[in-house]
Amino acid sequence: MDNFLELIKWEKLILAMKETIYMTSISVIATFLIGLLLGLLLFLTAKGNMWENKLVNSIISVIVNVFRSIPFIILIVLLIPFTKILVGTMLGANAALPALIIGAAPFYARMVEIALREIDRGVIEASQSMGANNGHVIFKVLIPESMPALISGITVTAISLVGFTAMAGVIGAGGLGHFAYLEGFQRNNSIVTATATVAILIIVFIIQFIGDYFTKITDKR
């Protein structure tokens, strides 16, 4: 039994978990903000909406589609020069952040756009008929009315981000992916790999639980 526990290398596991949680939280927050902004722009510049603008809409749309389609592992590689300029290194948790955010934000932007499109046009019009300006419409109507969908969307995105951090880990970003690969796979220690997997699953379940909870309490429909 002692032997078994020794095999796991608790300290390294805890450290790896902390790194994963760190990468996930920072990238979830940034993804939420950037995705929300892009999603709002996509929605508002679409035909028939407040800032209707075909050019801006197609530009954002193309960018979002391109970055959404690049497989994450390739995106990391593509972004190496950019990351080096930004973070100064290719190693460590911080180095993974640009790729994580750029990979996830467009994905979330589409979800935001879909959530906003679900809002009844009549409600937006009703608020305009009461004299609401664009700021009122965005902050008092669009965001609150789509909140459950925005939360369930960021939950799904956060879970994919946990997966992305694991991939980033393999090429040197640290975290549970790195731990499983280096300590588990390369040293042929399947117990470590299994433990890392369980740790990732726990993180994913916790995210899902929190997300479901907040989706439920904000949904008054």
Partner 1 sequence: MTMISIKKVQKIYPSQKGQVKAVDNVNLEINEGEIFGVIGYSGAGKSTLIRMLNGLELPTEGTVVVANNEVSKIKGSKLRKARQEISMIFQHFNLLWSRTVRQNISFPLEIAGVSKRERAKRVDELIKLVGLEGREDAYPSQLSGGQKQRVGIARALANNPKVLLCDEATSALDPQTTDAILDLLVDINRRLGLTIVLITHEMHVIRKICHRVAVMEDGKVVEMGPVLDVFKNPQEEITKRFVQQVTEPEETKETTRHLHEKYPEGKVVQLSFVGETADQPLITELIRKHEITVNILQGKISYTQNGSYGTLFIHLDGPKGEVEKAIAFINTHQVGVEVIANG
Residues in the site for partner 1, rule: CB under 8 A? 120, 122-123, 125-133, 136, 140-141, 144-145, 147, 218, 220-221
CA proximity to 151, closest of 213, 106, 215, 208 = 215
Q: Which of residues 141 and 167 has its CB atom nearest to partner 1 in the complex?
A: 141
In the complex, least distance from residue 84 CB atom to partner 1, rounded to whole angstroms: 44
Q: In terms of C-beta density within 10 A (0-12 exposed, 13-18 middle, 19 or more buried), how is residue 70 classed?
A: middle
In the complex, least distance from residue 45 CB atom to partner 1, rounded to whole angstroms: 19
Both structure tokens of 120 = 């009844």
Q: Measure the CA–CA gap between 180 and 80, rounded to whole angstroms.
A: 23
Q: Which of residues 81 and 131 has its CB atom nearest to partner 1 in the complex?
A: 131
In the complex, least distance from residue 20 CB atom to partner 1, rounded to whole angstroms: 33
In the complex, least distance from residue 123 CB atom to partner 1, rounded to whole angstroms: 5
Q: Measure the CA–CA gap between 43 and 172, rounded to whole angstroms.
A: 37
Q: Which of residues 18 and 136 has its CB atom nearest to partner 1 in the complex?
A: 136
Q: Which of residues 146 and 165 has its CB atom nearest to partner 1 in the complex?
A: 146
Please report the DSSP string for 12-36 in residue order.
HHHHHHHHHHHHHHHHHHHHHHHHH
In the complex, least distance from residue 221 CB atom to partner 1, rounded to whole angstroms: 5
Q: Which of residues 83 and 152 has its CB atom nearest to partner 1 in the complex?
A: 152
CA angle 63, 67, 70 (to 5 degrees): 145
